[in-house]
Structure 1
Amino acid sequence: MSIEALKARLPDYAKDLRLNLGSVLTTSSLKPGQVWGAAIAAAYAARNDDVTRAIVAEAAQHLDAAGLTAAKAAGAIMGMNNVYYRTVHLSGNADFKKIPARLRMNVIGNPGVEKVDFELWSLAASAVNGCGMCIEAHEREVMHKGMSTENIQDAVRIAAVIHAVATVLDAEAALSGQDGSTAVAA
């Protein structure tokens, strides 16, 4: 599936998403590899099969094998970290902040790509997953490494649009019965 095919599947009520999907992936303050790495990490976080397939297929034209792997790794590790650290942040139990996570996350220290890119991609996944603690940590890292507020905003815009597209496609599949459920009359 291609990005164009995804856009074509969006219903008219989601026209803004269709337009935004085209623009956030092509008009950005980020380098193309950063755009597509953020898109992959966000797609992994958004958990829609068609969106993930389309984004990864298109990203393969903009990222080398190491970049593709690292972007997938950012989405994967944030799937774990965002749940853990969001719980630490929201639980209200100060003791959670004092004890180590005891979760392997070696890929963060050695992602196989520029650290700033991996941090940016992790930020995109964290935005989709809603982990404030992780968003703050990754934002701090990318800014420390020279990225601008506009760069960060562009990564988050990519994440927001990809998440919204995935949400609409999932909802439409549920309404049509394509997800294995009973179709709902419109």
Structure 2
Amino acid sequence: MSKTETLRQSAAASNETRLERLASQIEAVRQSRHQSAEELAATLEPLAQAMAALAEETRQTLTEIDRKSREQGEQFSRQIETAAASWRSAAQEAQTAADRLNQAGARMEWQHYGLAVMTGLITAALVSGFWLWLAPPTVQNQLDPKAVAEYLKPAVIAALKPSKGR
């Protein structure tokens, strides 16, 4: 419950009590039979003073309530402005962070492409180097056609001889 509401409730309770007393005094004046104007004035004077005091107190209470309401309104406006400013600041920071994240993602994409190309090149260089370094020795035979013919000659002659069963 705010201060203004508490003040209003207190003023309302005080006013109700005074109004009840005034109502009872007015009823007493209405029922009484006065002999003279002085007697009536003496009876009405406290009633008039009480009503004037009630009006003055009500005016002061309403002024105080109005002042408190304005203070609360101004305080609430300041709080809303502060919150809105902090929200705008947070939104700006979030946008900046999102932009940086996008830039980092783009850089990382190109870094991955570069890493894939470099991995391929290094792998190709290592495979080629190891292939050349660990390649089995090449055997280079030079065949002498005459020696080969002499070597194969008995087998070829035996294959070409007519067989006895023919």
Higher helix share: 2
TM-score, shorter chain, exceeding 0.5: no
- Shorter-chain TM range is under 0.3
Kindly name which structure, 1 or 2, has the bigger radius of gyration based on alpha carbons: 2
TM-score by length of 2: 0.28
